[in-house]
Structure 1
Amino acid sequence: MRRTVRSMTTALGVGFSLYFAARAIWWIEQPAVPLLIIAAIVLYLAATLTAVLASSADGVRMPAGAAVLVLVAGIAVPTLVSLALVPQMRGAPFATWYIGAIGVLAVVCIVRRRLLLGWIVLAILVVSASAYMGVGRAFTLGLVGSITWVVVAHLLIIFWDRAVRDTERLADVQRAVSAWNATQLVRQRERRVRAQRALAIAGPVLSRVVAASGVLTEQERLDARLAEGTMRDELRGAVLLNDAVRRAIADARRRGAVVTVFDEGGLEGMEPARLSEIRDELATVLAGARSNRVIVRAGRDDRIAVTVVGRAAGGAHDDDAVDLWHEIPRAAP
């Protein structure tokens, strides 16, 4: 069975409670009213076990009902024990059990995140013990120990909560670093793929230019321009491209159009199915475009994913020069 912090603290709380209850019934002399001591023991055990074992929504903070019972026990137990004994017997070892017992009850309140209640119970204990025994005698017979327990418990809870918060922040930082590393790995892989594709496109053309010492035919010059444009597309807007888009762009360039592709991050985080639909629609638009200059832009817009603008050469005004305007929405129509 795996031991947890809560199970260990629960066992300690129950163990100390039983210890003080057993000490209470170890009478050296007969109390004047034994039933009052028995009632105090029963009330104390009921309050302590309820405070230790009662569950709550968050699993740590003591429920309100248990807190009320603890407060009642903190007030009633010292009074019941003191009234059951004659004044001369109130300093006997078996008569002072409630000092440690109520101290344990206050510590339980602190551990279960009822800090104010714990200090209230301790204050009630100090007042009660001092009233029935005298201040000096009460502190000599165990009140200092109870106060020390509560102070130490409060400090431990503060340090524990701070350590938990620091651990959670560290875990968040580690998750963020892991996510950043994963993103960088993906981007590095994408850059390698793009570089390999660019080399595959430009390699044969460059080899031909070197072999011909720069003397190229018209077809070779066209192939070089197409390769240069394709390389720019792969570097600037690889997310927008699939085989159909690449073919449509290549066909437009072969007939003399200037095609420019910009990806400004507008397609980041989009579902693969919708991204595929956008690429197919873009390929259809480019295949039907007859503009002399075509600009494809994926901007960061909440509504529009891709904008295609076509401009005709020779327009008198900028508005007249635009002969193609097509917007592909981010969401499926």
Structure 2
Amino acid sequence: MLLSQSHDNSSFFQPSAFLLIGIPGLEAVHGWISIPFCSMYTLALTGNCLILLAVRRTPSLHQPMYYFLSMLSLTDLGLTLCTFPTTMAVLWFDYCHIAFDACLIQMFFLHSFSVMESSVLLAMSFDRFVAISDPLRYASVLTNSVIGRIGMAIVTRATVSLFPVPFLLKRLNFGPRKILLSHSFCFHADVMKQACADITVNILYGLSAVLSTVGIDSLLIVLSYELILHTVRGLASPRERIRALNTCVSHILAVLVFYIPVIGVSMIHRFGRQAPPIVHALVAYVYLIVPPVLNPIIYSVKSKHIREGLLKMLSRKDQG
């Protein structure tokens, strides 16, 4: 069914629902494909919840570095929960409909959590810079109140940046037709290009939102590591240099795990329009699912304190 009304003396149509798609060309084996997808979603949800519980219940982890890690886990949980219901509905039940307004809401939260993740990674790079350049003032600079304000700024920035996007889409004419999206969730670029109207404003706003958030964050992260390397080069002994750099390894891996898929998604949407639909789908899934899966693993493997916190928490459960 379509909702229509008069608009500039012509018919204005908004679909009551969009049609979602799973893995293009592999619809016949969606049941089998759902197994690795469900496993990854379970890993992401379990891993990030365990990180949050370990930080909360382990006093030795009540430090700025691990508070920022908790923020990263929260954003990863948000990203995972944004796409889990529709993706598994498509793969398990072949339920491909999503209401127009529900699609816009999912899109808003999906992109908001992505911006938050970028901002948290920037905050973590600032944390590493302070810890290495001025370790004696580390605790006094990054107090709980400062960390709380940083968290509020991250949420506010993402919300304000993405808030206009659904309303800019809602003003567009989509035409009286069934609309099949390219994924099992709603991407801004994917929804936008389905409109039968001039989308110049949407393109410009989307580009400016990306550049002013993820773009600036990536540049500031690079700058922070240039300053970190400059500080490390000034350390007296090689052992101190290695120890300082070793505290950054987990964060560097988390940055790569997030930004490489982001770049891949941007490239495929702008320059890979002739690529097969399955390539678009897989790149998008990597962007949304892989970071929430890998981040808890990276920090559990690289951080001795996180491992100890997890082991203590699990051992207390076994004893209970």
Taking structure 2 as the reference length, the TM-score comes to 0.30
Larger Rg: 1
Q: Which protein has the bigger helix share? A: 2
